[in-house]
């Protein structure tokens, strides 16, 4: 069995090159071919010695994911469904905006956290993606988009780990994938433009701060433990006080000086005026530097939940803003292709 080179960050690739009796610096050349030029075939790598290409052909492969479907929205959003084998599929979504272009990536097939408002959570957990499967989403999308948009410039400027799965429950595959996104010899993304979104896996937030600090988004969704226990079952293990302490510790390492709190607005559940007031109180008590991103809920039948009406979302945002908390309401993108969050 050959090894998939998409599974390696540069350090891992260098170690692999050493096992082939090659100098570590060859790994940099190889890494650039794969990630910067989108090479799929060792024969393309004309500046590598023939002997090395021969060794690679026997020992290695560059294996992406196969696309099941690709849908393009009227607003330029593109959603891909990738086959990850065993009847499982994961999704990536490309979201172009005026000042940036974001790719939303999956970290697991399914998810074990089981949040009530999330269709991935309702599916249950199938398996962790490998580093190669996480990176392959970016590798494919970036090189597809360069051809699609007929450019040799980098297209994707931001990555958010907000697709399917809980990235911090797939930590060992996540970290080399993040390192590849950040590496100047690969995608060269800024740490501030790579965001891990978590439902609050406290110990892994601490490790991420040490191992690979990137921007952090925390899915809050409730201002008190009773409600959060019900919406995000992981809260029973890591309740709000612990979660917010972990956010403060993370800020000591983070490339940004705030945490983004995501809050999915559910009609009659977590969108009342008193919830907004409790939220203000909660973040004040913990003295945490944060911004809020209110997400209009994307309903699906099995959830039994509804989207908050827009005036209620705006009133909620107003309460937070007036208390001095920077608050945005997420625009829904790609609605026509079901590419919005949680779909």
Question: Which residues would be at the binding site for ligand SAH (CB under 6 A)?
Answer: 117-118, 162, 166, 197-199, 219, 262, 264, 295, 297-298, 341-342
CB of 284 to ligand SF4, least distance (A): 26
Name the residue nearer to ligand SAH (CB basis): 22 or 262. 262
Active site residue 341: yes
User: Of all residues in this chain, which one has the CB nearest to ligand SAH in the complex?
Assistant: 342
Q: Are 246 and 239 in contact, with CB atoms under 8 Å apart?
A: no
Helix ranges restricted to H, 187-327:
202-211, 225-231, 240-251, 273-285, 310-322
Name the residue nearer to ligand SF4 (CB basis): 114 or 296. 114
| Dihedrals phi, psi of 146, to nearest 5 degrees | -60, -40
Q: Are strands 101-104 and 89-96 parallel, antiparallel or unpaired?
A: antiparallel
Q: Which of 250, 183, 264, 175 is nearest to 215 (CA)?
A: 250
Active site residue 115: no
Which one from 115, 212, 264, 341 is the annotated catalytic residue? 341
Name the residue nearer to ligand SF4 (CB basis): 31 or 297. 297
Site string for ligand SF4, 189-218 (x = CB under 6 A): ----------x-------------------
- The alpha carbon of residue 6 and the mean position of all alpha carbons in its chain are separated, in whole angstroms, by 17
- Say which entry of ligand SAH, ligand SF4, none residue 264 contacts (CB below 5 to 8 A, set by partner kind): ligand SAH
Task: Give the footprint of ligand SF4 on residues 30-89 (CB under 6 A).
Answer: none
Largest CA distance in the chain: 69
- Say which entry of ligand SAH, ligand SF4, none residue 94 contacts (CB below 5 to 8 A, set by partner kind): none
The stretch near ligand SF4 (CB under 6 A) out of 72-80, 113-121, 265-273, 303-311 is 113-121
Q: Which of 205, 197, 290, 279 is nearest to 249 (CA)?
A: 205
- The alpha carbon of residue 305 and the mean position of all alpha carbons in its chain are separated, in whole angstroms, by 25
Catalytic residues: 91, 341
């Amino acid at each position: 069995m050959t090894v998939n080179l998409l599974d390696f960050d540069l350090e891992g690739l260098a170690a692999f090159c050493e096992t082939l009796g090659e100098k570590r610096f060859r790994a940099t050349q190889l890494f650039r071919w794969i990630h910067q030029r989108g090479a799929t075939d060792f024969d393309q790598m004309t500046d590598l010695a023939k002997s090395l290409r021969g060794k690679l052909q026997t020992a290695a492969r560059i294996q992406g994911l196969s696309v099941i479907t690709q849908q393009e929205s009227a607003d330029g959003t593109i959603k891909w469904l990738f086959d990850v084998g065993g009847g499982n599929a994961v999704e990536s979504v490309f979201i172009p905006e005026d000042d940036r272009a974001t790719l939303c990536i999956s970290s697991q097939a399914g998810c074990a956290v089981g949040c009530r408002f999330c269709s991935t959570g309702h599916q249950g957990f199938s398996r962790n993606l490998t580093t190669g499967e996480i990176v392959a989403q970016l590798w494919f999308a970036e090189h597809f988009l360069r051809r699609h948009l007929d450019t040799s410039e980098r297209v994707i400027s931001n990555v958010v780990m907000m697709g399917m799965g809980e990235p911090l429950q797939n930590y060992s595959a996540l970290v080399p994938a993040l390192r590849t996104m950040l590496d100047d010899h690969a995608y060269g993304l800024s740490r501030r433009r790579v965001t891990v979104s978590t439902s609050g896996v406290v110990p892994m937030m601490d490790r991420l701060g040490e191992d690979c600090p990137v921007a952090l988004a925390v899915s809050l969704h409730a201002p008190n433990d009773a409600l959060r226990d019900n919406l995000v079952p992981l809260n029973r293990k890591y309740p709000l006080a612990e979660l917010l302490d972990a956010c403060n510790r993370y800020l000591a390492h983070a490339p940004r000086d705030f945490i983004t709190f995501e809050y999915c607005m559910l009609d009659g559940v977590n969108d009342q005026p008193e919830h907004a007031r409790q939220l203000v109180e909660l973040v004040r008590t913990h003295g945490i530097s944060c911004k809020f991103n209110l997400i209009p809920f994307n309903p699906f039948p099995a959830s039994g939940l509804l989207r908050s009406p827009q005036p209620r979302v705006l009133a909620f945002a107003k309460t937070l803003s007036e208390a001095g908390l920077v608050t945005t309401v997420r625009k829904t993108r790609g609605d026509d292709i079901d590419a919005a969050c949680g779909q």
